[in-house]
Chains A and B, each alone.
Chain A
Amino acid sequence: MNNSNPTILYVDDDDNDVVLLKHAIRSAQLNFGVQAVHDPEEASAYLNGEGPYADRKCFPMPSIVLLDLKMPRMNGLEVLSWIRRHPLHKRTVVIVLTASNQASEINRAYELGANSYLVKPVELSALVEMVRGIGHYWMTLAERPVAAAHV
């Protein structure tokens, strides 16, 4: 993994969805490196480079965090809130990717500072389209926040 390969941290407890996302990224021919964690605790450990995630070469800082909302123990929204309050991670691009399209959850996510809110499609082809869209927008069109070390 090098700097030219941006990393996506996918926070989701469902392994099936992780496999499908990885497949979709491959199908969309994007050069993202996908790192997956299964719960909020692992997510914070990864972002802080703690425990098994201490090696930044193997576990680089992600350019984008894809966040499922419905997970055991800590709710995805709490992870989002934690990221936004964290001095080092507060500017990280966080895209909610979840099964819920409930208005209350959508609004809450944006209020807490989500950069986007996407609903997991059932059809794989739709997921491929979605991932392609993410890559196009965030890697080509949008200016991403500049890492602290570079400021």
Chain B
Amino acid sequence: MKASARAETTGQDPPPLQSLPGGSTFTEETRVLVFTTNKDEEEFLCSILRERHWECAPCADFSELREEIKAGAAIAVVQAGALDHVHWPKLQLIFTEFPNFPLIILAETHELEEHTPLMQDPPTNVLLLERHVAPASLFSAIRRGARLHQMHNILSKVQRQETTQMKEDLLRERAFSDLVINSLPGIFYAMNKQGRVLRWNKAVEKVTGYSTEEVAGMNALQFFAPEHRDLIAERIRHTFEVGESTTDVPILTKSGLRIPYFFSGTRCMVDNEPFLLGMGVDVTEQKRTEQRLREARDLLAVHSEELEKRVAERTRNLQASIQALEGVLYHVAHDLRAPLRTMQGFTTILMEEASELKGEGMDYARRIAQAASRMDKLIQDLLVYGRMAHQPLQPCMLDLNKQLEVALNALAKEIKARRAVMKVQKPLLEVYADPSMLGLLLMHLLSNAINFVAPDVRPIVHVRTEQISPSTVRISVQDNGIGISPEHHDRIFRVFERLEAGGVSTGTGIGLAIVKKGVERMGGTAGLESRIRHGSRFWLDLPAAPKNE
């Protein structure tokens, strides 16, 4: 019998458990559904399967077959001969319901050659076999089909799992991006070319006062006041064309409030369709600050104008005061000098002509005359000092050799009286200074050098110049006088600071103050080097040339 020949084929043990990704295991399904109208055939098939430890589940009809497939089976073996015109449509239904369930149809050779759609173009899950195939071949076909089915099941299960995972991931992703866009510091929106708002963050609703449903149906332009819509439309167009843009325009809320906003948009492509992603930030505070800044600036301008006016006014007042003071100074000096002339003049006449004045009387008269002379000099020096600050200067390049000559000539009498030796280290350098001012300063320095010398010492005065820097020339006047101790060096240039040593001095205490003020007005400085009993060296540092600016 054919069946015994089939039984010879050695069966294989069921394959071991298969492990699947994810750790879950699948047992190989070994239940085979059998549908045949021939009991022998059924018994034969079952024996082949049982020999190999597979389970055989004969089905009486197609509804049972359907139930069994649903309950779980490896494969179904259907005998073609059992299929009549009633069964065909039912089988068709099975194919439709279980498109992946494997089916083996055993057919006679002539049946295989039938021009039925099933025979000519079977569905992918259907395997047609010659009915009298060897049992081993039949089993391996069954097993292959079952395995394929199982693989398919596993695959689809994995696919299902993967799909679920992907959905979860997508949801998580979505939740994350929602979190991100909702936590943005401003409003966020995505719109298409038509201005339809497709996605937005919570801030949009919070700021505008529109509900989620309302926003969903709105066009971007509706978030702005009518007069701003042209600008917004233009900006949106621009963003889609160029790729990005910004604009500074107030947003219009549902309640009609306008809030200053700054928007920046970027074009991006999603699935080959351009979208505009944009952000807006509330610039109310910034605008307010700008406004305050503007106000502050205006206020400052007003203040500075006022200040300028005040300065101008005060300058005018000051100039008036200076003029008034100068007038007073001049008159005081004039009025003070008149009685001095009288004192000096008449005392001199007394000494010259009143012969009864002798000894002490003569000495007293001389003292009066000297005091009057000294007071006159004091007044004159004060007048010079007073005028110094605003006396107009006309500096030029000066030949110091000539300047010095003029000063020495003016002092000729004093030099002769003191038998002073004047030594000038020639040639002297040029300086940039006002001639009359410099002449006055030289006179004061030379006169000091001659006069502040111990009575029994013949004055020796050295005058020289040196270039102490590219822009500065130093004029030095060195004497062999009484000297000045260092602690007095600072105050000696102040008005009325006189350092007398035992009546040697004939100064007014203003001379060096005049020197300091004068040299400073010409852009220079004055200084000294001196030790007590070792003479003094006074210097003037003056510009070597006019400043080029």
A residues adjacent to B (C-beta < 8 A)? 14, 16-17, 19-20, 23, 70, 99-100, 102, 120-125, 127
Contact = CB atoms under 8 A, between A and B. Distances in A.
Interface string B446-479: 0000000000000000000000000000000000
B330 A127 contact: no
Contacts of A121: 341
A70 B338 CA distance: 11
Interface residues of B, number: 16
B330 A122 contact: no
B528 interface: no
B344 interface: yes
A124 B348 CA distance: 7
Interface string B295-308: 00000000000000
B346 interface: yes
Contact of B338 (A17, A23, A123, A125): A17
Contacts of B284: none
B37 interface: no
A14 B337 CA distance: 12
Interface of B: 330, 333-334, 337-338, 340-342, 344-346, 348-349, 372-373, 376
B346 A16 contact: yes
A27 to B, nearest CB: 8
A20 B345 contact: yes
A124 B376 CA distance: 13
Q: Which of A16, A120, A122 has the most chain B CB atoms closer than 10 A to its own CB?
A: A122
Given A122-B373, A124-B349, A16 B334 contact: no
Contacts of A123: 344, 348, 373, 376
A102 B345 CA distance: 23
Classify the secondary structure of B's interface with A. helix
A20 B337 contact: no
A20 B341 CA distance: 9
A122 B340 contact: yes
B400 to A, nearest CB: 26
Given A122-B376, A124-B349, A70 B344 contact: no
A23 B342 contact: no
B330 A100 contact: yes
B349 A16 contact: no
B368 to A, nearest CB: 12
Nearest to A127: B345
B334 A122 contact: no
Contacts of A16: 338, 341-342, 345-346
Nearest to B330: A102
B334 A17 contact: no
A99 B338 contact: yes
Nearest to B333: A99
A60 B346 CA distance: 29
**Which of B340, B345, B348, B372 neighbours the largest number of chain A CB atoms within 10 Å of its CB?**
B345
